[in-house]
Structures are given as structure tokens and as C-alpha cells.
Amino acid sequence: MAEYSDEAGLEWIDEAAPVLVTGASGFIGQNIVQALAQAGATPRALVRDTGNAALLRGLGAEVVRGSIARPAAALSGVRTVFHFAYDFRAAGAANVDDFGQFLDAMANEGVRQLVHASSIVVHDGWPREDLSETSPMSPPQSENSYRGAKIAMERMIEDAVAAGRLGSAVILRPTLVYGPGSRLWTLSTIERLRAGTVLLPQPPADHPAGTPFGLCHSLHVADLAEVAVQAAIRCRTGARSFLLSDPEPATWEEFYELHSHVIGAGSVRKVPHAELAVRLPPVSDEAADAGPGAAARLSARVRRLIGNHAVDAVGARLRSMRRPAGGVQVPNRHLFELYCTTGRIDVSRASTELGFAPRMPLEERLQEMAVELRTGG
């Protein structure tokens, strides 16, 4: 990662105040901690459990146990917060309530700046339409969904800055973040390929000729962490949002084939759109806005007891036992929608204002990750 030597950066990292990172135990949060330490800042990691405490200390962080609803001493002396926590096993509305308490605590402690992790999913047109930061964002009827929660949090941040409760805020809207340790976009990708053939849809019969279909808008976690630090250095007033994704997206076919080549397993087959659509599984209860199901709540309790890595290892083993070798991998409805992505992402604002430029393309990133991919991601 980069060394930050510009004048604004030096002024920022020379502050004695620690920089708080929420969600620091997670896949992205660990990379944020590392990027901050390498930039010369003093990261303070807020964690709900101490399973990754030794790892975080090794990255240069002070570790404080707590939650965003009860940050306690974690905010003491802090002027900048990187908020990357989200409890996927709680309802969206519960996440919004906790975030409201966290905003109040930040205001009371005199925090000046917030760097907040939102998501590309806040935009109405994702993943079908071309998007920029000004593309429409219509809140759903319920905040209980992930999308609804993320939109609500963005509005709360903008209101806090407008009211002077926060000095400035940066809202980051990344696409699909992959890299070593990513359960969603690295571990699961490897599991599907090791289980057999991944089925992808061909363009539907009415898809306009010569227009994109099946785009995979991804971003390596190291590129996200680096630009997040740059955002804190460069954006010191007001509230500003940024879309973040690889400017030259691969297709899903390329994404899977590149992974397959690196791990030496699996294959990809494209089938007619209508044929694959009728094979999709029904929508699960947990996909609805009712909040997490019993299995998710149990998983949350187990993770607090034994840590994420142990749960992930057991989960991967159980899933591999359920998936017969050589079987076809039919996507769920969420993946099917992503496999049909047609919209492009305009990242020119981040490129111009933050110097955002991924360090290497997907193929080179996967070669860099080869050892981790072959041993499980």
C-alpha cells in the first residue's frame, strides 16, 4: 500500500488523536486498519469480540471491546471515524437504530470527520442501469432491508453534517469487494467452482445487440482500503459520496474462469436465459425484509464464541459435503440478477477527487492471491 507524503496527508496523520475503525474484525475492516497504520495514523479497533485481537494488534491497532450502540471509551480523543460495521444477522432497522446512537455519541465526543461504508445497492438502477453518484436513490417501504438501512444511514449522516453535529463526512459506495478472506466474493466463488460447473445466463432474446451483459463490477479490498484513507485525507468539509469499482469490469464468465484457472478446479457453462431462470430456487424467508432467520441468529451467537474464521471453515466443509463433486451450480435469485448486470459504474468523481485508480487488474490480483485461493481463499 502507498505511503502518504502530501502536505494534507502529513497534517492529518501527525495528529495525536487515534482513528477509530468500527467493524475492524471483519474482512474489510482489517484492511482499513492496515492501511491506516501504513499511512502513519494510529488506528483504534472497535470490536464486539476479541477473537481477532492479536491479529489487529499485529497490524498496529489498539483494540477496544464494545459496539457502536455502546462505544464507551472507544471514542475518547477520537477526531476521525471509519465506520465499516454492519450486523448482517440483525434486522436493518436494528442497524439503523444502533447507528443513530453512534452518531449521537460521535457528536457528544466532538468527532470531526466520518468515513462511512455504504454500498452501490442504494441506487435504484443497480445492477441494470448506468450509475453515478447522482443517480436516484428511493428508500424502500421498510428500513429492515440492507438497502433500506444503508439509505437511511446516508440520510442521517447528511443531516448531521448539515446541522453541524459532524464537521465532514465521506460516504463510500463500493461494488462487490473481493480479496483474501471475503466470504461473499472469494470463498463462495472457490466453493462453487470446486463443486463443479457454474451456470451463467446468456443474454435474453430481447437484449439489444452490442450492449453490455453479464458485467461483474468488483473491487479488490486493498484498493478500497487505500482510497478510504485518501478520502479522509482529502475530504475535510461537507458531505461527499463516491462510487468505487474497477473502471474496466470483467464479465462474470471471465471472473469465474480466472478463478478456475488459478485454483485448477471447476468450469463455467452459459445456458439460455429463460432456461436458467426457471431453474432458480424459490426466494428464502431470509431474503425478505422480516430480518434474519433462526439459522442466522444462531450463527451470530457461535461467531461471538469461537470467531469468524472457525465458523467459516466449518461452513465451507458442510457446504462442500452437500454439493456433490461435478454437480452444476444453479445461482440463487440474487446471484442471477447480478449475473445479468448491464449497467456501468462512473467512478470519475473518485478518480478526480481522490486519485482513485486500482493498482492492478483482476487477473493480476488473482495471481497475487494464488496461494490463498488454492488453500481456501
Q: What is the CATH number of the domain that holds 104?
A: 3.40.50.720
Contacts of 163 (CB under 8 A, 6+ apart): none
Q: Does residue 374 fall inside a structural domain?
A: no
Beta bridge partners of 82: 21, 115
pLDDT tens-digit map of 103-118? 999 999 999 999 999 9
What's the DSSP call for residue 128?
A: T
Question: Is 156 found in the same domain as 89?
Answer: yes
Tens of pLDDT, residues 30-53: 999 999 999 999 999 999 988 899
Q: What is the pLDDT of residue 287?
A: 46
Print the domain residue range for 313.
183-214+250-339
- 1 assigned to some structural domain: no
Looking at residue 301, its pLDDT comes to 55
Residue with cell 469480540: 49
Same domain, 285 and 351: no
Q: Which residues contact 322 (CB under 8 A, 6 or more apart)?
A: none
Does 334 map to a domain? yes
Q: Yes or no: say if 222 and 31 are a contact pair by the CB < 8 Å rule.
A: yes
Task: Answer for the pair 207, 277: CB distance below 8 angstroms, yes or no.
Answer: no
Q: Quick one: 42 and 167 in the same domain?
A: yes
170 in the same domain as 28? yes
Burial of 27 (0-12, 13-18, 19+ CB in 10 A): buried
pLDDT band at 372 (very low <50, low <70, confident <90, very high): confident
Spatial distance between the Cα atoms of 76 and 55, rounded to a whole number of angstroms: 23
Residue type, 12: W
Question: How many domains does the structure of the chain reveal?
Answer: 2
Residues contacting 58, CB < 8 A, separation 6+: none
